[in-house]
Chain A
């Protein structure tokens, strides 16, 4: 009885390992769809204002998700908006010049890399994919600065 059970167990184990090996062989073979050897093609629409991102590319590649996670709490809980890592500013720069969006096809900035990396983009359930110019800083400085003076007077 025990020998029978272990025979069956061995058959299953060998079978599973065989299937795994075959899959890996296929994926590595030339008949499988090839990805670019250099990695994903990220579309950065250079026509947008600004020559470069607020951080260098290597840093952003590795850390943009951490920046987003931190910034969202800063904005929600502390009311800090329009800072260096504001999402609106990211979108304003990275939006496609054709339709003002960062998501919509693999030619759009965020989607171009995320499709390659197969990481789902949850942001756009709530956030608009369209660029909207941030209110000119000058317009909001006067009331805020004056008010803080007025506040001191009170």
Chain B
């Protein structure tokens, strides 16, 4: 706390209780203000339930393939548990997120990373949806409005990342926060039901819990957020960047 020099000289003789109280009070107020900020440091800043989302925020993720452990599928398990997705080996099973094993064709070097809906800024799936069920929310999250999805699967044809799945059979006992059903198309929602309550997506939390910290979630529009700072200072890429879709999901380390 910087006080002007002359005030300090004046107060050296006697204790200025007024100034002491002022300093104490300011410190307390600052502490009170900062403390909750410290609590949410690293967490997404959510909004109250009654406010509509705006484009002031753009949610994104940064995935560090270098930190992604070989054979680890914690993010996949967490996503499936959170969203009630029963994935499996059948070709009809849904996949909201998957681990992709990569092998360099020329050198044979291997690594892995998770792939999910890339939440593009110019989503091809939104362009092709005949009813507008596939849409991009103001805050950048791309969703399927299953109230108006007719199940034509055109968006699945259009997605460059194989992010979407079609529900092939009747579902029961869905997570009440994540309605999903037969005949509609679905994909990673970036845990929008959690993000809207100020929480992290399930995959981010699981990766954190496992100690790998490979997935960073945050507001791309906020220059002071962790993710924005890291993207500004490190080399990161978007998958199929040649398509110029400006995805909200970025990768580094490969």
Task: Let me know if chains A and B touch directly in the complex, using CB atoms closer than 8 Å.
Answer: yes
Q: Give the interface of A toward B (CB within 8 A).
A: 72, 74, 76-83, 88, 91, 125-128, 130-132, 135, 140-151, 153-154
A127 to B174, CA, bound (A): 7
Is B173 in contact with A130, judged by CB distance below 8 angstroms? yes
Query: Do B46 and A143 touch across chains, with their CB atoms under 8 A apart?
Result: yes
Query: Footprint of A on B, CB under 8 Å?
Result: 33-34, 36-37, 39-40, 43-53, 135, 137-139, 143, 145-147, 170-171, 173-177, 179-184, 192-193, 196-199, 222, 224
Residues of B within 8 A of A79 (CB): 47, 52-53, 137, 139, 192, 196
Q: Chain B contacts of A125 at CB under 8 A?
A: 170, 181-184
Query: Which chain A residues lie closer than 8 Å to B182 at the CB level?
Result: 125
Q: In the complex, given contacts A79-B139, A79-B192, A132-B176, what are 16 additional A-B residue pairs having Cβ atoms less than 8 angstroms apart?
A: A77-B145, A81-B49, A81-B197, A88-B177, A125-B184, A126-B146, A127-B176, A128-B173, A130-B173, A143-B46, A146-B36, A147-B46, A148-B47, A149-B33, A150-B40, A151-B45
- Are B184 and A154 in contact, CB atoms less than 8 angstroms apart? no
Chief secondary structure at chain A's binding surface? helix
B86 to chain A, nearest CB (A): 14
Complex CA–CA separation, A68 to B209 (angstroms): 38
A79 to B137, CA, bound (A): 9
Chain A residue nearest to B223 (CB atoms) is A154
> Given contacts A83-B49, A140-B197, are A128 and B183 in contact (CB under 8 A)?
no
A1 to B224, CA, bound (A): 90
Residues of B contacting A74 in the complex (Cβ-Cβ under 8 angstroms) = 52
- Picked from B33, B47, B145, B177, the residue with its CB within 8 Å of the CB of A76 is B145
A90 to chain B, nearest CB (A): 11
B56: shortest Cβ distance to chain A, in Å?
A: 9
Q: Are B53 and A78 in contact (CB under 8 A)?
A: yes
Docked pose: A148 CA to B57 CA in angstroms: 12
Chain B residues within 8 Å of A126, by CB: 146, 171, 174, 179-181, 184
A-B pairs with beta carbons under 8 Å apart, 8 shown: A79-B47, A127-B179, A128-B173, A128-B174, A132-B177, A135-B197, A143-B40, A143-B43
Check if B52 sits within 8 Å of A78, measured CB to CB: yes
The answer for the CA separation of A83 and B45 in the assembled complex, in Å, is: 20
